[in-house]
Amino acid sequence: MRLRYQLSVAAAFSVLGAGLLAADEGMWLFSNFPARTVAQKYGFQVTGDFLDHLRTSAVRFNNGGTGSFVAADGLLFTNHHVGADCIQKLGSTKADYMKNGFIAKTMAEEQRCPDLEVNVLLKTEDVTSRVTSGIRAETPAAEANQMKKASMSAIEKDCAQATGNRCDVVSLYAGSQYHLYQYKKYTDIRLVMAPEFEIAFFGGDPENFTYPRYNLDITFFRAYEGGKPARVEHYFKWAKQGVKEGDLTFVPGNPGSTGRLMTVTQLEFAGRRTYPLVYRRLSAQIESLQKYMGLGEEQRRIAQENLFGAQNSYKAYSGFLRGLRDKELMEQKRQEERKLRDAIRQDPAKAEKFGKLWDELATAYGSYENFYAQYFLLESGATRGSELFQVARDVVRYAEETRKPNQDRLREYAEAALPSLEQSMYSTAPIHNSMEIAVLEDYFNFAGRELGFSHPAVAAMLDGMRPDEAAKRYVETSKLADVSERKRLAHDPEAVKASKDGMIRLALLLDKHAREVRKKYEDQVEGVVTRAAGSIAQARFAVFGGDEYPDATFTLRLAYGAVRGYQDESGRPVPFATEIGGLYPKVTGKEPFALPASWLKAKSALTPTTHFNFVTTADTHGGNSGSATLNTRGEVVGILFDGNLESLPNRFVYSDKRSRSVHVSSEAILEALRKVYKADRLVKELGF
């Protein structure tokens, strides 16, 4: 359920009227949580203190997930699949932590992740007036878009310099509002405990996004400051009891992106162009990684996390596409949009102000139709799966962008973004040339098939070579595995231009074409869509009024829902929880239904009736992975790690008929820590 492959298409509002929110729907801003609705339905009063406790104890893992503090000495709790990037990078042929797991017996044994950042939200501020200052109705959309970006970069820089915090300006409600998010940032994150991959992802890809499940998808880290464990005032305590059916739960986390506020034009474009291309790209990448992993055990170890990410995204997109091809779902979206447009037409003033917005969107997406594949393959998705290609692009662009005034830079190279970018760009994580070659060869082949091998960008990158020859030459003539070489080049634009480094040359060859198509997207699509979408949001409020939640933006939200089973499509009841005893009958001894030796050895010691995984109606999405599942006392009763297949169309329309969020039970976690891993130090730190 990870946030691994998000789209660059701006979202616009649907027209679901206020007061029509279904069931436990909502990825709510903490400043606008529907406490009255929760009180009426569940008889529990959500107070300001309760919300503050949740906000200050939850954290964002900047590699695309969520976590939380669970002890005073900076102990962090998240999913194994959120921590897998670090676990993979810390491992080696001699110490395969993905395969064999990891437990630090003492703090001295806790191992530092090479490039992991964790953020705690401190405060938010509405800065809409500052972002939009100077923009008039007659300002061309492309110019207005650039003015907003310049203002956002300036606000972030001022905030970071004044506070020392991480500062991000975030677009909400399709660009009708802009909020400044301030975070306390931790960059010294150390691995404390991780189970074996076989139990963290038991059932593998066949059971991903399904339920019932039996996964111990957990990892513990620790945040350090000044070389010592960080002392934190706010953290979640572990519940003494688990959940029962009907219990109200809360899930604070950072959902990555949703499309519930998209117009019909945008949804149709996504179903016709965006998602199918991403789907094909992921399929090709999976095939190439599996071929590479078939070469030997070391190749398998190196590529395991990369493959998991691609397979996870592939399955997620299959669910998204199913939603977009669902006639009932799409008809619902069309009816909602007609309702809003009819209301606007009946009011001459509103018709004058808002009536042409949908035509503007249609025109923008008509233009986008002609170059979306180029934008995705040359710019937004070009480096997927390749650490070395991403480093090369960052070095090339860092050298150029940091010589520009802050307001003129690409947003990801603005002044306030540089510390986090530099941590990633100068990561000491190992780079494996053999996998890089396999991934690049696949990229060249796929780009050639989709754009044509005669396309100027593809032809330039291949330079007369076969894809396999080009990939090998670029990787094997690169020195970017050396962090000191990255730093030397990043701070010397002339050295970049003159460099003979293979990966730098590749990044330079692509950059001209990528920048051109990016500017085309920002001017012809993003600028128009942002303006129209923001205006549609205003129209929505003008017609329906009421309080709503914005689409997900990888910022902190709060979902709530009941522990509740369901009936599958055949009408069979699906229980709210699985039990540890149900795990062992599924074991075959062969992947993906093999168990690590530690679990086989501990079988007789485990209490078979202990809840393992359970489901709730909480409204969550990719990026929520690792969110603590909390009871009404704000205590940990589980951790979110997935949704079932039926939940994937919730990206566009929420339903709780059969869709569920899937959690690991706090009871199972304790049982495993005590009886499988003998992790007494960790159990004690959790308060037991």
Q: What is the 3-state secondary structure (H, E, C) of 298-309?
A: HHHHHHHHHHHH
Structure tokens at 264: 């019909």
Mention every residue, 6+ apart, whose C-beta is less than 8 A from residue 520. 371, 375
Q: What is the 3-state secondary structure (H, E, C) of 351-394?
A: HHHHCCHHHHHHHHHHHHCCCHHHHHHHHHCCCCCCHHHHHHHH
Any bridge partners for residue 181, and if so which?
124, 168
Any bridge partners for residue 190, and if so which?
112, 222
Helices and strands in the chain: count of H runs, count of E runs: 27, 20
Nearest to 195 by CA among 177, 219, 222, 170: 219
Average predicted confidence (pLDDT) for the chain: 95
Mention every residue, 6+ apart, whose C-beta is less than 8 A from residue 283. 314
Residues of the chain with pLDDT under 50: 1-22
Nearest to 322 by CA among 282, 380, 270: 270
Any bridge partners for residue 111, and if so which?
191
User: Which residue type, as a one-letter code, is found at position 391?
Assistant: V
End-to-end CA distance of the chain: 30
pLDDT at 19: 39
- Phi, psi for 123 (deg, rounded to 5): -165, 160
- Cα(283)–Cα(369) distance, rounded to whole angstroms? 22
- Tell how far CA 585 is from the center of its chain: 34
pLDDT at 16: 34
pLDDT at 107: 97
pLDDT at 9: 30
- Phi, psi for 578 (deg, rounded to 5): -100, 165
pLDDT at 537: 81
pLDDT at 10: 31
> Using one digit for the tens of pLDDT, what is the confidence trace for 139-181?
999 999 999 999 999 999 999 999 999 999 999 988 889 999 9
User: Which residue type, as a one-letter code, is found at position 570?
Assistant: S
pLDDT at 546: 62
Contact between residue 68 and residue 55 where contact means Cβ atoms under 8 Å apart = no
> Using one digit for the tens of pLDDT, what is the confidence trace for 544-565?
766 789 999 999 999 999 999 9
Strand (E) positions, 9-117? 58-61, 65-69, 75-78, 102-103, 111-112
Tally of CB atoms within 10 A around 411: 14
SS3 574: strand
Contact between residue 286 and residue 314 where contact means Cβ atoms under 8 Å apart = yes
pLDDT at 544: 78
Q: State how beta strands 188-194 and 111-112 pair.
A: antiparallel
